[in-house]
Structure 1
Amino acid sequence: MNILRLSKLMLATALTTVGLINAHQVSAKQVDLNINLATPVMEAETRHKAFIKISLEGHKLEQTQARIPANIAIVLDKSGSMQGDKLFRAKEAAIMAINRLSQNDIVSVVSYDSRVNVVVPATKVSDTNTIARAINRIQANGNTALFAGVSKGANELRKFLDLNKVNRVILLSDGLANIGPSTPNELGKLGLSLAKEGMSVTTIGLGLGYNEDLMTQLAGFSDGNHAFVENADDLARVFQYEFGDVLSVVAQGVDIHIRCLNGVTPLRVLGREADINGSQVRTRLNQLYSEQEKFIILEVEVPSQQDKATVELVDVDVNYLDLFNKRSEKLNTSVTAAFSRSETEVKDAIDTQTYEAAAEQVANELNRKAVQRRDQGDIEGAKSILKESAQYLDNLGQSLASPKLLEQKAEALQDAEELENDQDWGKKRKELKERQYKRATQQSY
């Protein structure tokens, strides 16, 4: 009996150790780095595909801490389609949001139709009444020179560009770009170039006439936010959420370098763009917010291992700019898996939260494919993909006893039912693209 108790104690200690290894957390000043493995104990003598979650979270801002100054360019579409309530609500929302800024912040306002006009040149926010009067004088007319509008907003940011500030363009548009570069690819490249300078672009699509592919690519390649606002009355709420993010940034220029070890092969990164080169994976986040988690899911192939083996799978370096201390910081951690012939040990060790996060991103990728198939006119093919996603979520949701995944399964089936109506597809597509974007980037609103 004593020997049996001792054996159980040793097994419990071993599994506890694996759990501690699997859920490493390191922090430096403003950021916590966590790495978790969905299946920390794997079946021995079998090759596996495994999900690794690499997450970063900004620390809570202390009341005594002065927040990081913001350098913001608000770029407003004033083309003819914005006439009336749309433009009125847009101006109202912009003024309300600017009133949240302080004298340490910089703001500029750009309007565009067929041409671009700098309504408020980049200036410290010392006289909000003068800024509000300038915004209220904007009148709607002409076409949509969206590319030029964003470019001009970026030029205003450059006047006070500082990597120790939050540098962001906030773009509002209700229509298709029809003057100058106008494709999603061209706007995506613009977003990427601005990100390299330390700027991000948040895109707000108003109504049903804008190009959601263009807006999500522009936001995505610069690591900004994206929102679909069907009703102009909701603009004030969205602007308030957006400024809440801007005013809570704690770190910028976050570079993530992952090295796969011991024969582990990287297969794909879910949720974000990444470069995979052999056993090396690199990706980047432009900004991290206080008390908000941002993560990537890395899927890897793990070679067969002997019973009772423990193997280090990946090593992760994170470099970022700590805005409060104005210096570069580095974080490093790794994750290790154990291998066992015991089905019970494998099942009991599953990290449900990590598996849920991975499954959500897998389903999100299937949702993207369904939209592509629907765009090609293959409605049945699109529905089939969404039903495949629902089946995947159902199987895993039942296995993990996860209400979250079962809710997402019901959502996938509902999406499949709403693909057929051509009249409603424009709105549904915008809703799907917005949801895909927010899930991939863990947007807070």
Structure 2
Amino acid sequence: MNSHRLIKIKHLIVAACLSIPLLPTAHAKQVDLDVNLATPIMEANKTHNAFIKISLEGIKQEKLQERIPANIAIVLDKSGSMQGDKMYYAKEAAIMAINRLDLNDIVSVVSYDSRVNVVVPATKASDSTRIARAINRIQAQGNTALFAGVSKGAQELRKFLDLNKVNRVILLSDGLANVGPSTPNELGKLGLSLAKEGISVTTIGLGLGYNEDLMTQLAGFSDGNHAFVENASSLAEIFQYEFGDVLSVVAQGVEIRIRCKNGVRPIRVLGREAEISGSTVNTRMNQLYSEQEKFIILEVEVPAQENQASIDLVDVDINYNDLFHKRTERLNSTVAANFTRSQQQIEEAIDTKTYEAAAEQVANEYNRKAVEKRDQGDIQGAKTILQESANYLDNLGQSLASPKLIEQKEEALQDAQELDDEQEWTKKRKELKERQYKRANQQSY
């Protein structure tokens, strides 16, 4: 073949390649979904209760500058009990945290006592010096209009509300809500209504005077974080942790639907609020963070199956708002169980990590019930519940050779020993409620 003909063929090939339309580059999903069964192989010809873990994890952010813009309202209690060090450290923590924001972020600051005051209306976070001056002018006095303060913070967020931003109210309070709506139920309803708008509320309880039931309800129904801070000098650290979460959100508006199959019956969801209707379970998460796992544990009843049978237990469908690409994404998965008469196969197949996660949530439920008994004045009843929890963790921990569960057993026994002291109960109760909340929601700090 002569050189002129070769050149002509090469030109034709290049021309043909250039004429082919380029396919759009597929973008990576921002969330990984895993569905795991604690006991993938079960004994044949028996009905079983089984734990299914539905796990979601935001992918790693490759570049620090590539993050989702934040729309944050800081709501500060400035009632009379906040005078002195509390107010000083609260203002310092807020200013330090705001300095982490950049030109694409929106910030507002609201203070409240008997009344509510907008200290910094919603604005770009560019003029940090002016914002700091405004915060430093806050003075503590008056009562605690907590509901109105959170509502005003949400109102400031709505000025720039965008489902492609991270919309977060950060509430700091050291006292009981005593002006306006003030019950945990009322604040829980507020949290739920804000969640429907794409707003989450993080609650930070300072000292020993705040209502931890109210604060965890408000945070829980909006899928925010919760922290108990005994000493005001620790506020800066907590604010840094919180802003770290806010600035690492990769997905929002996560809707989870689980459909049980083949006669499998949903019993309960551990750790999160969920709606069970027939064979379908619906729940949600407001936000997912980069490299943080969030999960729910579903307990199901599995009908008896013949030896060597294999059935799908559930289908899981996830919808979420991909904040980086500003579009709705969908994920789906399923999980199956196999059945055998071989005890060895059953034991070798156990998924230890999934079983540990389920056991932790079961123990968390024991802990909740123990606090309820203690609140009723039944200290012995509370101790009995915690002993049951310890026995459950010990038996399972030994069976799975799990140091993690054995450690939690010791924790339950220690909790039982600390229920008698009336003078320390206020602090202990806050510690227990904080721990319950963090475990149920897999909080990062």
* TM > 0.5: yes
Name whichever of 123-132 and 63-72 sits farther off: 63-72
Q: Give the aligned CA root-mean-square deviation in angstroms.
A: 0.8
Q: Distance in 2 between matches of 1:203 and 1:237?
A: 15
Is residue 425 of structure 2 the alignment partner of residue 425 of structure 1?
Answer: yes
- Equivalent in the alignment of 2:389: 389
Is residue 303 of structure 2 the alignment partner of residue 317 of structure 1?
Answer: no
- The 5 Å alignment of 1:5-404 reads 29-63=29-63, 66-404=66-404
SS at match of 2:67: coil
Q: Distance in 1 between matches of 2:112 and 2:63?
A: 39
SS at match of 2:227: strand
Question: Offset of 1:64 from its aligned partner?
Answer: 6.6
Task: Return the letter of the residue paired with 1:407.
Answer: E
- Equivalent in the alignment of 1:412: 412
Partners of 1:379 and 1:419 within 8 A in 2: yes
Structure 1 unpaired stretches of 5+: 1-26
Partners of 1:28 and 1:330 within 8 A in 2: no
Aligned-pair identity (%): 81
Partners of 1:259 and 1:316 within 8 A in 2: yes
Partners of 1:122 and 1:159 within 8 A in 2: yes
Structure 2 unpaired stretches of 5+: 1-26
Q: Distance in 2 between matches of 1:65 and 1:269?
A: 37
Alignment TM-score, normalising by the size of structure 2: 0.94
SS at match of 2:114: coil
Q: Distance in 2 between matches of 1:180 and 1:34?
A: 44
The structure with the largest alpha-carbon Rg is 2
Count, aligned residues = 419
- Equivalent in the alignment of 1:439: 439
Partners of 1:320 and 1:330 within 8 A in 2: yes
Q: Distance in 1 between matches of 2:323 and 2:92?
A: 31
Partners of 1:251 and 1:288 within 8 A in 2: yes
Q: Distance in 1 between matches of 2:373 and 2:260?
A: 34
Task: Return the letter of the residue paired with 2:396.
Answer: L
Q: Distance in 1 between matches of 2:201 and 2:362?
A: 26
Q: Distance in 1 between matches of 2:238 and 2:74?
A: 13
Q: Which whole-Å deviations, capped at 9, do the CAs of 1:22-71 have from their partners, x for residues lacking one?
A: xxxxx961000000000000000000000000000000001176210000
CA distance 1:103–1:195, change in 2 (3 Å):
same
Q: Distance in 1 between matches of 2:245 and 2:65?
A: 16
- Equivalent in the alignment of 2:21: none
Q: Distance in 1 between matches of 2:61 and 2:369?
A: 39
Question: Offset of 1:126 from its aligned partner?
Answer: 1.2
- Equivalent in the alignment of 1:6: none
Q: Distance in 2 between matches of 1:72 and 1:356?
A: 35
Q: Distance in 1 between matches of 2:229 and 2:125?
A: 27
Q: What stretches of structure 1 move > 6 A for 4+ residues in a row?
A: none
Task: Return the letter of the residue paired with 2:140.
Answer: A
Q: Which whole-Å deviations, capped at 9, do the CAs of 1:135-185 have from their partners, x for residues lacking one?
A: 000000000000000000000000000000000000000000000000000
Task: Return the letter of the residue paired with 1:132.
Answer: A
Alignment TM-score, normalising by the size of structure 1: 0.94
- Equivalent in the alignment of 2:24: none
Q: Which whole-Å deviations, capped at 9, do the CAs of 1:339-398 have from their partners, x for residues lacking one?
A: 000000000000000000000000000000000000000000000000000000000000
Question: Offset of 1:98 from its aligned partner?
Answer: 0.1
Q: Distance in 2 between matches of 1:235 and 1:308?
A: 57
Q: Distance in 1 between matches of 2:439 and 2:28?
A: 27
CA distance 1:130–1:65, change in 2 (3 Å):
closer
Q: Distance in 2 between matches of 1:28 and 1:396?
A: 39
- Equivalent in the alignment of 1:16: none
Task: Return the letter of the residue paired with 2:317.
Answer: D
Partners of 1:77 and 1:172 within 8 A in 2: yes
Name whichever of 179-188 and 62-71 sits farther off: 62-71
Task: Return the letter of the residue paired with 1:322.
Answer: D
Partners of 1:28 and 1:331 within 8 A in 2: no
SS at match of 1:404: helix
Q: Distance in 2 between matches of 1:94 and 1:211?
A: 22
